[in-house]
Structure 1
Amino acid sequence: MFAHLTSLRFTLLLVLALQVTVVPTAAAVENTGNDTLPQSKVIQFFDTYCVSCHDGAGAEAGLDLSSFDSGDQLAAEIDKWNRIADRIADQQMPPIDSEIPTLEMRTATVQWIRDTIHAAVCDDGIAPGGPMLRRLNRTEYANTVRDLLGIQFNAGHELPEDGAGGEGFDNAAETLFISPIHAEKYLDAARTALTHAMSDPKDRKSILVSVPTPDTSPQAAAQKVLSKFLPRAFRRPASDEEVEQYLQLFRQVYEEDQSYDSAITFALEAAMVSPKFLFLWEQPHTETTPIPLTHYEMASRLSYFLWASMPDAELMQLAAEEKLHDEAVLTQQVARMVQSRIDDRGHRRDAKVREFASSFVEQWLGTRALGREFKPDQSVVGKLNSELQGGMKYEPVFFMEDLLAENLSLLNWIDADFTYANSSLARHYGIEGTFREQPRRVDLPENSHRGGVLGMSAVLAVSSFSHRTSPVLRGKWIMETLLGSAPPPPPPNVPTLEENAAEGSEKRTLRERLELHRADAACASCHAVMDPLGFGLENYDVLGRWRTEEQGMPIDSTGTLPDGTTFEGVAGLKQQLMQRKDAFIRHLTSKMLGYALARQLTNEDQCVVDAISQKLAEDEYRAQTLVLEIVKSLPFQYKRGQTPPLNQEMNDGQ
């Protein structure tokens, strides 16, 4: 009976909770002005290199640039001009069969566009987003239940998978809706987790801090339990009215069966299906100017950003002392929260930040797909056992954890002299030494084929087809994932690579078949950028093993970019990416800011990205600097006013 009533009541509460309005966030910083290039030179650039293809009604891709004569036009079409800047920067514009500008002119024009957009968007100052309202995602729910109850049990195992949104992450508010199946699953999960906790004497004692005795009534004991449990579950102080509300549930059950355990477990279960537990919720306000988050709201933003779980006792104490807007305190807390202990064998231990490293890195790099959406054709590429797959998936996760814990340069993602490998992955890479199933840090010799993200097998696998490598997919992956510049979709009715390959009977390498494929003029402009990047990785097979031949023929891993720049293999490709380190850092900053804010970034947010990117350049691109600058940013610490929702207090019974 009670389970049925709780389920119905919970569903109604969720409907009420979802009436709170979430307003998109914006952010800005002061602009320093645009003095990179005279406007007349930019207009001349477009007249010389662009208008011949982008003129009038018949303009290529429907992009008419013939009327461009002022930077004022950019403010009205920011998204379009951001795409134009990306295309010019990535040498997609102008096309390779046209007159090509110098690298200096190309770079200066891109900078002028970005500076002009920055001035248009950022000069009005900073405008943070509205207060947060979102459901805990599957991972966050499991971690929060684990830390709340002190159990090693995955309570989120039976919950539905969460889709990605925002900047490509599964913590984005717009994707974390509630369905009827969630209500029942949460009830089942709470009941199962509490049963698990109560079966262990140590866990039980930590939750039931008081039990009935001759001197303590059942109600008094329950009040002590709830007074400790509810503030931790709700991640803020619980009011006397809230404690009384759950105490009333305890009394209802206790009056029926006289069982303290049944009654207190029911009250705890009710708290764990409350929107106050299941949602990250920040108090709305109606002020005309932004106000800081409360200190308890800051504690939750910090913990769910870096731990994907609830605040610990130290964060809660700092919130109670109202210290979580103090810059020195935030600096100390970020350093504490990203730490992980490394033992004398090179294994990292006891790291709560691994939850962030895993969630962020796997979704940013796309390596979560390994073993899920991407499954290699083992009849072609060989055996992929579970230990090797685990080593592949955890290599970039432990790598990120190392960068954060040791406060190393983020440019290590481009090239590094170390990596993480377990025994199977070490054999896969040909690395000598003593390894176990858990990955450990290993220093790489000079001229190693590894080091940095481009040599990581998980990345090389998910950017391939299941049966063969793909310079196109790998080049596209580099553009999108590392540089933040997605190529346009392919035109319709373009023949596949296999169809082109069938035209010739002689044996051809993959490179030769791709050259036939991009002979189609409709394909040439994009492939001229993507393919050379991917060719630089052709010495790696589908699973990332090093090779020098394909079908008995030597592999040609050279790449020639549209401006004529030539590079050799992965080493040369790393040098090319290092020359574009600012684009890489800016994109990584955008991704992490979007993850931290749990939403899609706006044009205004790019002002904050610019400021953080500049700060990183001044501080040797250190990993903790990126995290700290995000935490210190106004979008992270403030919320803007909005029309008050119908349920200001989100009280369960009101």
Structure 2
Amino acid sequence: MIPSRCSLTRSMCWLTIVTSFLMAVAFVDVLAAQSTPSSAPNQHFLQKIRPFLKAYCYDCHGAETQEADLRLDTLEEDFTQSSSASTWIEVMDKMNLGEMPPEDSPSPTTAELAAVTHWIAAELRQAQRDSLGNGGRVILRRMNRAEYTNTVRDLLHLRFLPGESPEGVLPPDGTAEGFDKVSVALMLDPSLLDKYFEVAQRIADKAIVDGPPPFATETMRLEMEDIAENRAIDYLCATPGIECQEKAIVLMQGSTRSFGVMKYPGTRNEIPVNGMYRIRVRAWGERGADGEPVIMRVRQGHPSADQQFLLETEVTDEPKIYEVVVPRDPKSGEYNVSIVNQTGFQTSSRVGNEIRKQQQQAGTAKDYEKVMRLQSRQQLENLTWGKPNPDAADTSKLRKLVVDWLECEGPLYDQWPPKSHDTLFFRGENAPEDEAYLRDIFTQFLPKAFRRPVTQDEIEKVVSLCRSELAAGESYHDAVRTGLISILCSPKFLYIVEPSTSDQQRPLTSWELSSRLSYFLWSSMPDEELFQLAESGQLGQPGILSAQVDRMLADDKSHGFVQGFGAQWLKTDEFRNFMPDANLYKEYDDSLGEAMVGEVIAFFDEILRKDESALSFFDADWTMLNERLAKFYGIAGVEGNEFRRVTLPEDSPRGGLLAMAGVAMRGSDGNRTKPVNRGVYVREVLFNDPPNPPPPNAGEVEPNIKGENLTVRERLVQHQQIPSCAACHRTIDCYGMALENFNAIGAWRTNQDGENFRGRNTPPIDASGTLPNGSSFESFDDFKLLLLDQKERFAHGLSEKMLTYALGRPIEPADRVLIDQLSEQMQANNYTLSSLIHGVVASQAFHTK
């Protein structure tokens, strides 16, 4: 940070950003003023709802009697008024709780009760959507933090290393309709003001550099012979499974490490600064009696688990150099090289079993001293002066990893000055540092930042600010940094602006269309090709627009769509809301949890990129696995941390979204499954059909009390006996009970587990049920087939979700015809995501402000 320029820059940035905030507030006020709800009651209310209220409610809440100060005979159906809406909510809650009508009054049937509560819930949802919408117009919205980060990345050609991304500084975005792209949830909040300034300063300091790199690229190597006489590794050479040779270390199990020996010249650390580093290992393998290849894994010590893994690969029988380029920072500790999947030595089975037993008990009994005594005994039985005893351990049949040397090179630079610097100072460092160059810098840069042509007045405001900095004695680079900060704080950068002076819809300009398209499919700004098409006015031509959609989906930047739409639609951020009980689910660890999320995102990505049918979300004979998840699923032959497409064994219960462990874990509380939660997920995600909200204090299915041994299904059935609960639960629970074969962490089970269910004589899982449409199923496989029969419903719900995401506004009644058209187009094209995306982009709604 450069203190001398902070005061002026901060004042200017606050001015622009407060202006942005006031613009947003004013715009919301305008929208509120434009809302004109209809006051005419509809026929359903007159013919169904009012007669119901008259029959069952007016005696206690009518003209003559108003128990609890509640009068319903004058209650209108206007859900846009807060007083009326709150009364309807109270009526719905009382009905759902079974408190209305009272027991001594005539009671409606369950079907009648359900019809009214469902109508109230639907009207409330529509009123909420209407309050968020604006007659089909897309309103001004701020970029969410992912879009902001991606835009800065592409605008300045920056690479954000772990811990540097603006997403880690900016607070979470608001959501509406399940996405963080809906306009009304993304207005500026006062808490964001200082954060935007802080982020802009960080970006400016990273993008513009002074002088040569602070640290030159250096190579640090650790030869095994250099440490062979180092007493610090005596223990390593004495460890069973590790053998120290003259110029190498042989690993049969365990690992060797860098021992903190490698230091960047002139420092006490190996890593002097955040950056990219090249890790090299010279190694080879010796296959064992099983003939299996030798697998090498390289990891580093780091406080963040997601930065610990560096490399995993099969090594050859001949010496070879293996390398990987990875981000590292000064918090990175020494790194280690290990051999993977070794079976270990043949030690005393009696002592070994005793050790394992005591280690398991130590987790609760804390009898660590006894464990240590047993480990020492095992050492004495199997070792003689730190070397394997041939009578106790046979190493000849083991696989061996031979490590010759370790090396770290860095920090690495793609170029210097970095491309971000050259993007701004496009004439090079020898160009004259005068005001004319300042004007040229921002004449070239500002249209890309604002994603449209700019005026001379807009350029002059930035140049004037830079000129003031130079007059205050700041350097030329610092002046440009200040100009850059002001741009990154400007509402014209922070907002996706589609200005309009009328409350009527209008066609988008070609520039606005390019931004709407790029933020839909890339979650980032347009690239040079889109800008050129916008400038020529050709982008809106159907053939060209369609070709651009195909090009953009094939580009790596479409990962922004996968993370933006795919992850939010499938709710992957909720998979790890509860930590599984470590005593009940010992298979679970953080790497498995990460893999559960990764499978779903990779599955979505595979369907999108291979243009496969989205019906694979119901069932498929393949999934996306890495080694950790494949091991959990009991599928062999998958090695490494990368996800790849794997054909499932014929007897595998997996296949489709609902068979993925992450979905199952989301529908649990860490101890037991929660079928209601799972049922809600199925309805919301696959059909965009969320159930009615539960009444306040409705609670949920309680855990087993002491002395009971009821399954979740048995407790849920008891819960359904409450008449007020039955109406809603019969449309939810069946979806969740069908998933009961998956336990709290998504492992397949045929008998109850979790909670107090342990041992062999636990109750069998009953995954049968009846869907709301009357179709019955006996198993999870039957259930998936019945869901697949509702593929038209799926296409309709997915079309609603996609349109909401693309337009950044809720679906409105006027969109119904378009939704039907998108759904039909998807069905006619094998239910591919690409056909739906093409349909959205070609629609009039996508081209209209």
TM-score exceeds 0.5: yes
Q: 1:493 & 1:255 partners in 2: Cα distance? A: 65
Asked if 1:253 corresponds to 2:469, the answer is yes
Matches within 5 A, 1:272-287: 272-286=488-502
- Which of 127, 139, 142 does residue 135 from structure 1 map onto? 142
Give the structure 2 partner of residue 145 of structure 1.
152
- Which of 608, 621, 627 does residue 417 from structure 1 map onto? 621
Contact 2:17 2:490 in 1 (8 A): no
The alpha-carbon distance between structure 1 residues 540 and 221, as it changes in their structure 2 partners (threshold 3 A), is same
Asked if 1:294 corresponds to 2:509, the answer is yes
Give the structure 2 partner of residue 219 of structure 1.
435
Give the structure 2 partner of residue 181 of structure 1.
191
Give the structure 2 partner of residue 343 of structure 1.
none
Asked if 1:358 corresponds to 2:559, the answer is no
Task: Give SS of 1:380's match.
Answer: coil
Q: How far apart are 1:492 and its partner, in Å?
A: 6.0
Q: 2:465 & 2:697 partners in 1: Cα distance? A: 64
Q: For residue 175 of structure 2, what is the amino acid of its counterpart?
A: A
Task: Give SS of 2:166's match.
Answer: coil
Task: Give SS of 1:441's match.
Answer: strand
- Residue-by-residue CA offset, 1:471-502 (whole Å, 9 max, x unaligned): 22212221222222233334566675337x54
The alpha-carbon distance between structure 1 residues 263 and 563, as it changes in their structure 2 partners (threshold 3 A), is closer
Contact 1:134 1:280 in 2 (8 A): yes
- Residue-by-residue CA offset, 1:250-284 (whole Å, 9 max, x unaligned): 21112222621111111111111111111111121
Q: How far apart are 1:221 and its partner, in Å?
A: 2.2
Contact 2:743 2:749 in 1 (8 A): yes
Q: 1:603 & 1:553 partners in 2: Cα distance? A: 48
Asked if 1:468 corresponds to 2:672, the answer is yes
Contact 2:521 2:558 in 1 (8 A): yes
Q: How far apart are 1:623 and its partner, in Å?
A: 1.1
- Residue-by-residue CA offset, 1:394-424 (whole Å, 9 max, x unaligned): 2222222222222211211111222212211
Between stretches 322-331 and 127-136, larger displacement belongs to 127-136
Higher RCO, Cα 8 Å, sep 6+: 1
Q: For residue 498 of structure 1, what is the amino acid of its counterpart?
A: E
Give the structure 2 partner of residue 585 of structure 1.
795
Between stretches 546-555 and 478-487, larger displacement belongs to 478-487
Q: How far apart are 1:229 and its partner, in Å?
A: 1.2
Give ranges in structure 2 of 5+ residues lacking alignment. 1-6, 35-42, 61-76, 86-107, 113-121, 123-133, 210-415
Task: Give SS of 1:572's match.
Answer: helix
Asked if 1:479 corresponds to 2:683, the answer is yes
Q: 2:656 & 2:792 partners in 1: Cα distance? A: 17
Matches within 5 A, 1:441-520: 441-491=645-695, 496-498=700-702, 501-502=704-705, 505-520=707-722
The alpha-carbon distance between structure 1 residues 52 and 510, as it changes in their structure 2 partners (threshold 3 A), is farther
Higher-Rg structure is: 2
Q: How far apart are 1:513 and its partner, in Å?
A: 2.1
Q: How far apart are 1:532 and its partner, in Å?
A: 2.1
Q: 1:491 & 1:8 partners in 2: Cα distance? A: 44
Q: 2:571 & 2:699 partners in 1: Cα distance? A: 27
Contact 1:354 1:397 in 2 (8 A): no
Task: Give SS of 1:338's match.
Answer: helix
Q: For residue 427 of structure 2, what is the amino acid of its counterpart?
A: S
The alpha-carbon distance between structure 1 residues 224 and 478, as it changes in their structure 2 partners (threshold 3 A), is same
Q: For residue 202 of structure 2, what is the amino acid of its counterpart?
A: T
Q: 2:616 & 2:462 partners in 1: Cα distance? A: 51
Between stretches 507-516 and 556-565, larger displacement belongs to 556-565
Give the structure 2 partner of residue 559 of structure 1.
769
Give the structure 2 partner of residue 71 of structure 1.
none
**Aligned residues between the structures:** 557
Matches within 5 A, 1:383-394: 384-394=588-598
Q: 2:528 & 2:721 partners in 1: Cα distance? A: 63
Q: 1:293 & 1:395 partners in 2: Cα distance? A: 38
Give the structure 2 partner of residue 367 of structure 1.
572
Give the structure 2 partner of residue 569 of structure 1.
779
The alignment yields a C-alpha RMSD, in angstroms, of 3.6
- Residue-by-residue CA offset, 1:154-192 (whole Å, 9 max, x unaligned): 123211111211x21111111112223322211111111
The alpha-carbon distance between structure 1 residues 234 and 547, as it changes in their structure 2 partners (threshold 3 A), is same
Q: 1:538 & 1:406 partners in 2: Cα distance? A: 32
Between stretches 561-570 and 398-407, larger displacement belongs to 561-570
Asked if 1:604 corresponds to 2:610, the answer is no
Contact 1:212 1:221 in 2 (8 A): no
The alpha-carbon distance between structure 1 residues 556 and 226, as it changes in their structure 2 partners (threshold 3 A), is same
- Residue-by-residue CA offset, 1:57-103 (whole Å, 9 max, x unaligned): 3179x9xxxxxxxxxxxx9999x9xxxxxxxxxxxxxx99879xxxx
- Which of 7, 14, 27 does residue 8 from structure 1 map onto? 14
Q: 1:625 & 1:482 partners in 2: Cα distance? A: 18
Q: For residue 251 of structure 1, what is the amino acid of its counterpart?
A: R
- Which of 229, 241, 259 does residue 445 from structure 2 map onto? 229
The alpha-carbon distance between structure 1 residues 494 and 636, as it changes in their structure 2 partners (threshold 3 A), is closer
The alpha-carbon distance between structure 1 residues 53 and 13, as it changes in their structure 2 partners (threshold 3 A), is closer
- Residue-by-residue CA offset, 1:312-360 (whole Å, 9 max, x unaligned): 11111111111221111121111111125xxxxxxxxxx2112211122
The alpha-carbon distance between structure 1 residues 601 and 563, as it changes in their structure 2 partners (threshold 3 A), is closer
**TM-score, length-scaled by structure 2:** 0.61
Q: How far apart are 1:228 and its partner, in Å?
A: 1.8
Q: How far apart are 1:7 and its partner, in Å?
A: 3.4
Q: How far apart are 1:311 and its partner, in Å?
A: 0.9
Contact 2:664 2:744 in 1 (8 A): yes
Task: Give SS of 1:420's match.
Answer: strand
Moved over 6 A (4+): 50-53, 75-78, 95-99
Task: Give SS of 1:549's match.
Answer: coil
Q: How far apart are 1:589 and its partner, in Å?
A: 0.9
Task: Give SS of 2:584's match.
Answer: helix
Q: 2:697 & 2:192 partners in 1: Cα distance? A: 42
Q: How far apart are 1:52 and its partner, in Å?
A: 14
- Which of 206, 209, 212 does residue 426 from structure 2 map onto? 209
Give the structure 2 partner of residue 323 of structure 1.
538
**TM-score, length-scaled by structure 1:** 0.78
Q: 2:564 & 2:193 partners in 1: Cα distance? A: 24
Q: 1:612 & 1:496 partners in 2: Cα distance? A: 38
Identity of aligned residues (%): 35
Q: For residue 500 of structure 2, what is the amino acid of its counterpart?
A: P
Matches within 5 A, 1:10-49: 10-18=16-24, 19-20=26-27, 23=31
The alpha-carbon distance between structure 1 residues 257 and 588, as it changes in their structure 2 partners (threshold 3 A), is same
Q: 2:775 & 2:782 partners in 1: Cα distance? A: 11
Matches within 5 A, 1:543-558: 543-550=745-752, 551=757, 552-558=762-768
Q: 2:31 & 2:650 partners in 1: Cα distance? A: 51
Give the structure 2 partner of residue 191 of structure 1.
201
Task: Give SS of 2:623's match.
Answer: strand
Q: For residue 208 of structure 1, what is the amino acid of its counterpart?
A: F
Q: 1:150 & 1:128 partners in 2: Cα distance? A: 38
Q: Per residue, is there more strand in 1 or in 2? A: 2
Q: How far apart are 1:453 and its partner, in Å?
A: 0.9
The alpha-carbon distance between structure 1 residues 188 and 559, as it changes in their structure 2 partners (threshold 3 A), is same
Asked if 1:238 corresponds to 2:461, the answer is no
Q: For residue 516 of structure 1, what is the amino acid of its counterpart?
A: Q
Task: Give SS of 1:257's match.
Answer: coil
Contact 1:96 1:528 in 2 (8 A): no
Q: Per residue, is there more helix in 1 or in 2? A: 1
Contact 1:594 1:601 in 2 (8 A): yes
Q: For residue 195 of structure 2, what is the amino acid of its counterpart?
A: K
Q: How far apart are 1:235 and its partner, in Å?
A: 0.8
Q: 1:426 & 1:207 partners in 2: Cα distance? A: 47
The alpha-carbon distance between structure 1 residues 605 and 570, as it changes in their structure 2 partners (threshold 3 A), is same
